[in-house]
Amino acid sequence: MKNKLQKFGKFLSSMVMPNIGAFIAWGFITALFIEKGWFPNAELAGIQPPMLTYLLPILIAYQGGKMMGGERGGVMGAIATVGVICGAEQTMLIGGMFMGPIAGLLLKKFDEAVEGKIPAGFEMLVNNFSVGIFGMVLAIIGYYVIGPVMAAILAFLTAGVAVLVQNKLLPFVAIFVEPAKVLFLNNAINHGIFTPIGAEQAAEAGKSIMYMLEANPGPGLGVLLAYWAFAKDKTTKSSAPGAVIIHFFGGIHEIYFPYILMNPVIIIAPIVASIVTIFFYSIVGAGLVGPASPGSIIAFLAVAPKGETLIVLAGVLIATVISFLVASPIVKMSGDKNLNEATEKMHDMKAAAKGTQIKANGEIKKIVFACDAGMGSSAMGATKFRNRIAPLNLGITVINTSVDNVPADADVVVCQTVLQDRAKKSAPQAQLVTIGNFLADVNLDALYATLESKSTGKTATNNTVVEEVKEKTNNKNVMVKEGIKTGLRAVSKEEAIKAAGELLNRLGYVNENYISAMLEREKTVSTYMGFGVAIPHGTASAKNEVKKTGIVLLQYPEGVDFGDEKAYLVFGIAGIGDEHLDLLAKIGTIIEDENNIEKLKNAKTAEEILDMFN
């Protein structure tokens, strides 16, 4: 149940977090230009209501739709949410959180249902009309059904908060909020619950106390100061000052979670501090004009209403002092505690919150080869490595994908060095193997050696996977004689890529826009594979420009400069699904043999080359 709540909370916060900049912009406009703002300006204040009513819910819905159904899912979620907005009088942040993922999921299911069934040349028509038609239908449903329902839910939640405030019970939400933060539900609570309610209150009163319940940096600061002053373990004591700076000024509250996990009873300190501080804010009628994210003192004060900065700051000070006073004796009595173990525990919990779990004893079940688009180099590398480890009979799944869409259950991610930062962001739970190229690399050899040492000789499960791929991807029209050009004069890399794209277009594999996407892809990371071979292809966003799967080959006997390497064989790739994987695997197998490389480089006719791949 905890893991499910964490995953759901992560999902909610993932819709909001990329759009925090928009919330900050709205908060600043509110703080500066409304009637009670720092610099009242009726004209500029007029920007604020449309941002709150339309921009923020639509951005949230787009992000939710994109998470479920890609960019088209995001567009469809935005369309549908306009209907929800128009069907309710309240601010529909919560409506965007609901409608965006629903739209993205619907589009994803539709795409799965029609995959492989759309006639060649009609892909763009179907893709665009599906978004428009389904988006229109959902917008209508949103107007008549979802909008009123979400409005009722929001009204109920707002009324509940009002009851808590009237009966002076609001401070006691800290009993649930503070422990939930340590379980990595902090962003979910703040952005999934408090922000929608706060937006509704801020629209009416110009500020809301809801923005202060989770974001206050004071409770966590007090805990860190107590460890700094009284921790017996030198490592813990010396790490606290740096954590104070990151937490208080950087707003990264997660930095103090290990200090609580190290000694769970210390959670009493931030709970008591929050209760007292919320009670203080309730008495003085304090609030913020917008969400403070991240929970830095800078962000907290930046969205304080005009004339209330000192009150807001006083609440942070109260929380810090009380948390410090409560935490200090607990730290003194706790003895030596291991911060490293607590940090590891936190990483495990965070992995669970993302829907992943760090594998025990280095267990590897899924290896993901990732490149920018997930179409060419990673596909060839994954297929080749899958075949390489099949005899080991380890039951390991090897797939390829875009570096920005690595699945949550990946244990190992293989990518080019220049993409490692994106890979870490996409799959923080996975072991990262960085390489120069996907066909021959010492790090790939090291990974194979590690797997080889685990070989048990059990029933071959990988062989089944390989055969399924071969059966699925067998397509005689992927490479044709007309798509092979021999004896070409040496040109620049850009000219070679453009020539490959033009040939793909001329043979009906891609639309003309795919050519520029191939050039753009090369700017991100080189498509040079090693062994004198390059496989240029389009970016991930250009997959809609592919009409059918095809591979062309341009032979340059004198070579084309791809950075510090020369490519003599330039394979232009356009793939739909997995239809090109079998041929890519065969290309990878053939070019491992130097004699085959020489044959391909010196072949005089297209027929000679085609025979090697049949």
Q: For residue 439, what pLDDT band results from cuts at 50, 70 and 90?
A: low
Q: Which token pair is 544?
A: 């809609």
Q: Which of 191, 247, 253, 537 is catalytic?
A: 537
- pLDDT recorded at residue 47: 92
- pLDDT recorded at residue 586: 66
Show Cβ contacts of residue 137 under 8 Å, excluding neighbours closer than 6 positions: none
- 253-258 average pLDDT score: 80
* Mean residue pLDDT across the chain: 81
User: Among 334, 224, 302, 311, which residue's Cα sits nearest to residue 269?
Assistant: 224
pLDDT higher than 80, residue 121? no
pLDDT higher than 70, residue 343? no
Show Cβ contacts of residue 460 under 8 Å, excluding neighbours closer than 6 positions: 390, 391, 393
DSSP state of 580: T
- pLDDT recorded at residue 594: 75
User: Among 146, 292, 271, which residue's Cα sits nearest to residue 212?
Assistant: 292
Q: Does domain 481-613 have CATH number 3.40.50.10860?
A: no
- pLDDT recorded at residue 362: 60
Segment 57-103, tens digit of pLDDT: 999 999 999 888 888 999 999 999 999 999 988 888 888 989 999 99
- If one compares 13 and 215, the residue with the highest pLDDT of the two is 215
Annotation: CATH topology of 360-472? Rossmann fold (3.40.50)
pLDDT higher than 80, residue 525? no
- 514-532 average pLDDT score: 81
Burial of 589 (0-12, 13-18, 19+ CB in 10 A): middle
Return the residue matching tokens 């040496």.
490
590/587 Cα distance (integer angstroms) = 5
- pLDDT recorded at residue 359: 47
- pLDDT recorded at residue 183: 67
pLDDT higher than 90, residue 310? yes
* Cβ atoms 36, 71 nearer than 8 A: no
191 catalytic per annotation: no
Q: How far is CA 483 from CA 50, 177, 517, 550, 609, in A?
A: 53, 62, 19, 9, 11
- If one compares 321 and 481, the residue with the highest pLDDT of the two is 321
What DSSP assignment string belongs to 262-286?
TSGGGGHHHHHHHHHHHHHHHHHT-
According to CATH, where is 3.40.930.10 located in the chain?
Answer: 481-613
- pLDDT recorded at residue 167: 77
- pLDDT recorded at residue 243: 84
**CA–CA–CA angle 63, 64, 68 (5° rounding):** 115
pLDDT higher than 50, residue 40? yes
- 26-44 average pLDDT score: 84
* Identity of the residue numbered 366: K
Min mean pLDDT across 103-107, 470-474, 561-565 is at 470-474
Q: Which of 191, 247, 253, 371 is catalytic?
A: 371
- State the CB neighbour count (10 A cutoff) for residue 411: 20
User: Among 461, 536, 534, 477, which residue's Cα sits nearest to residue 501?
Assistant: 536
Distance of CA 445 to the CA centre of its chain: 29
- If one compares 267 and 36, the residue with the highest pLDDT of the two is 267
Alpha carbons within 13 angstroms on the beta-carbon side of residue 285 total 4
- If one compares 190 and 409, the residue with the highest pLDDT of the two is 409
Helix (H, G, I), strand (E, B) or coil at 562: strand
- pLDDT recorded at residue 458: 42
State which H helix or E strand residue 13 sits in.
helix 2-16
pLDDT higher than 60, residue 6? no
pLDDT higher than 50, residue 468? no
Q: How far is CA 42 from CA 29, 290, 304, 371, 461, in A?
A: 11, 19, 19, 50, 69
Q: How far is CA 123 from CA 68, 103, 107, 306, in A?
A: 20, 20, 14, 55
Above pLDDT 70, what percent of the chain?
84
- 25-40 average pLDDT score: 83
Segment 223-244, tens digit of pLDDT: 999 999 998 877 778 888 888 9
- What's this model's pTM, rounded to 2 decimal places? 0.50
374/365 Cα distance (integer angstroms) = 20
User: Among 568, 555, 548, which residue's Cα sits nearest to residue 507?
Assistant: 548
DSSP state of 304: P
User: Among 367, 612, 592, which residue's Cα sits nearest to residue 465?
Assistant: 367
Distance of CA 608 to the CA centre of its chain: 45
Show Cβ contacts of residue 567 under 8 Å, excluding neighbours closer than 6 positions: 493, 496, 528, 532, 533, 534, 556, 559, 560
371 catalytic per annotation: yes
- pLDDT recorded at residue 348: 53
pLDDT higher than 50, residue 271? yes
601/270 Cα distance (integer angstroms) = 70
Helix (H, G, I), strand (E, B) or coil at 367: strand
Show Cβ contacts of residue 194 under 8 Å, excluding neighbours closer than 6 positions: 210, 211, 213, 214, 291
- pLDDT recorded at residue 410: 87
- State the CB neighbour count (10 A cutoff) for residue 433: 19
pLDDT higher than 50, residue 160? yes
pLDDT higher than 80, residue 342? no
379/249 Cα distance (integer angstroms) = 44
- pLDDT recorded at residue 273: 95
- 362-382 average pLDDT score: 76
- pLDDT recorded at residue 467: 36
pLDDT higher than 90, residue 278? yes
- 163-173 average pLDDT score: 81
* Cβ atoms 9, 185 nearer than 8 A: yes
- If one compares 432 and 575, the residue with the highest pLDDT of the two is 432
- pLDDT recorded at residue 529: 77
Q: For residue 440, what pLDDT band results from cuts at 50, 70 and 90?
A: low
The backbone torsions φ and ψ at residue 548, rounded to the nearest 5 degrees and listed phi first, read -160, 160
Show Cβ contacts of residue 202 under 8 Å, excluding neighbours closer than 6 positions: 30, 52, 208, 211, 287, 289, 290
425/366 Cα distance (integer angstroms) = 18
* Alpha helices (H) in 170-256, listed in sequence order: 174-180, 186-189, 195-205, 218-230, 234-248
pLDDT higher than 50, residue 355? no
- If one compares 160 and 54, the residue with the highest pLDDT of the two is 54
Q: Which long-range contacts (CB under 8 A, 24 or more apart) does 339-345 make?
A: 339/233, 339/235, 339/236, 339/239, 339/258, 339/259, 339/262, 340/235, 341/262, 342/258, 342/259, 342/261, 342/262, 343/258, 345/258, 345/261
Segment 282-300, tens digit of pLDDT: 999 999 988 887 788 988 8
State which H helix or E strand residue 140 sits in.
helix 123-141
Q: For residue 462, what pLDDT band results from cuts at 50, 70 and 90?
A: very low
Min mean pLDDT across 467-476, 492-501, 559-568, 587-596 is at 467-476
Show Cβ contacts of residue 68 under 8 Å, excluding neighbours closer than 6 positions: 100, 101, 103, 104, 105, 107, 108
**CA–CA–CA angle 347, 422, 111 (5° rounding):** 100
- pLDDT recorded at residue 598: 84
Min mean pLDDT across 161-170, 359-368, 416-425 is at 359-368
- If one compares 475 and 55, the residue with the highest pLDDT of the two is 55
User: Among 376, 271, 286, which residue's Cα sits nearest to residue 587?
Assistant: 376
Polymer length of the chain: 614
- 210-226 average pLDDT score: 91
Helix (H, G, I), strand (E, B) or coil at 371: strand
Show Cβ contacts of residue 160 under 8 Å, excluding neighbours closer than 6 positions: none
According to CATH, where is 3.40.50.2300 located in the chain?
Answer: 360-472
Q: For residue 459, what pLDDT band results from cuts at 50, 70 and 90?
A: very low
Q: Which of 439-448, 461-470, 552-561, 604-613 has the highest mean pLDDT?
A: 552-561
Distance of CA 592 to the CA centre of its chain: 35
User: Among 200, 180, 167, which residue's Cα sits nearest to residue 279?
Assistant: 167
221/89 Cα distance (integer angstroms) = 39
